[in-house]
Structure 1
Amino acid sequence: MAGFTTLRPRDFTGYGDLPPRFTWPGGKKVATNLAINYEEGTERNPLLGDSERDLMQEGEYEYGTRAIIWPLLRHFKEFDAPYSVFLSSDALTVNVNPALSEMPKTEDCDIVSHGTRSISRVGLTEEMERADLCWSINQAGKRILGAFPRSPITENNRRIMADAGPYTGSTDCFDYLKDAFDILYPESNESATMISIGLHAQIMRPGGVASIIRFLEYVNKDSLDL
């Protein structure tokens, strides 16, 4: 077809060796974002009208809500650590864990829209995506401060999110987080930096929670300006 191309503009240059310089409020150096993904109960399942199921995935998701979420929340409170909930909103409506379903509404946390279900968005029309985001906002029970759509996103997704805004902007696990922080902290002398730590309860284990505790202890040292 004349004039038609599937090529999309791509940027391999970015800011190059001249990244933007900015500061966090209060002169803080590294913004640390703890984000709990609350998706349990939204995976593919015939109980929700799907044609297939994955028993292993179901077991992992159920373990997350039974055993991991509550210890994580207790440790966040112990360290007075702010956190976000990446919410797949149908997790609230399937009522798999009534007490946990109230958590995003009642706890002092930010809510980020993560769609309605843990399924691909490919094939959704623009109208379906708008209805999906509207449903998520209504189910959350309080203002949603951000959006992190489930991949792969469609060509309409960013525009739909912008229209619905505004938004505010194991040992191996500990070593990885510590190494990332240790790189970002000195870099923050030139410009503010940020580390984001996504926490899927369904794949966490007690050893992983221990790593989060060690990391919170590490970044709460008096010598650090966070």
Structure 2
Amino acid sequence: MRPGDTLTVDARSGEASYGDTVHSSAFVAPGRLRMMDPLLTTTVTIACDARPGTVPVLRRGAGDVGPDEHPLRWARVRVRPAGEAARRACRDRVKELPTPDLEERWAPSDTWPQSEWDVRTFRAGSRVTITDNDDEGADGEISLTSRAFADRPVLRGARAVLTATATLKCGAAPGLYVVYRHDAGQRGPDRRWARLRVAPASPAKACSTDRAAARATGASPTSVLAWTAGGVLLAATAGMALVRRARVRRFRAEGPE
């Protein structure tokens, strides 16, 4: 590798864990392993002032924060010699490097979201199951909001896993949306918790957010329609009874001819 080159680091399951970071004196900055199913991956850049030779790459666990946690010697990278002109060109090239893409790709069988950048695609008007594996005991204490949501779901669960169901607006424009988290008793702004991508509603089905929200609360459009029809029938029956009573009173007042 030459100074200024970008290096993609991949790891299979068992070789590293999600959130681990890779460090080296040859890198501009450490790289954090993120999920791109089926691999964990990160991209690092060889520093412009990196010394030529073989340099060790260290891996530090996601939870290793104390001074007693020693990073693991994990790999090696070989840096080729570069002249002063090449190093100056390297500095200009590094300044123009694009911002890394933070979106992750998890297995479709995994619950959503697995991380803040676990971006999945859902159709407008659909119902989305949300799962939280990190807030045991917070039943009913966490609510979620998003410009894509037609409602404000609340995470619930008596065990380690909390779940909720959100209904996406039929009119939500295609694109990336942020999901914000609000904790009970929280002070300050809600924090970003997840992201999702909205695709257009299915052309084969009529999209109705009201109907989807009714299903989410346990009421079906049929039951609502039946209740409405019953109400009309009840009102009509009551009206007929009033007319009949009025006719009887009128007949008694006038008497038989």
**TM-score greater than 0.5 by the shorter chain:** no
Which structure would you say has the larger Rg? Answer: 2
Q: Kindly indicate which of the two structures has a greater share of residues assigned to helix.
A: 1
More strand by share: 2
- What is the TM-score normalised by the length of structure 2? 0.19
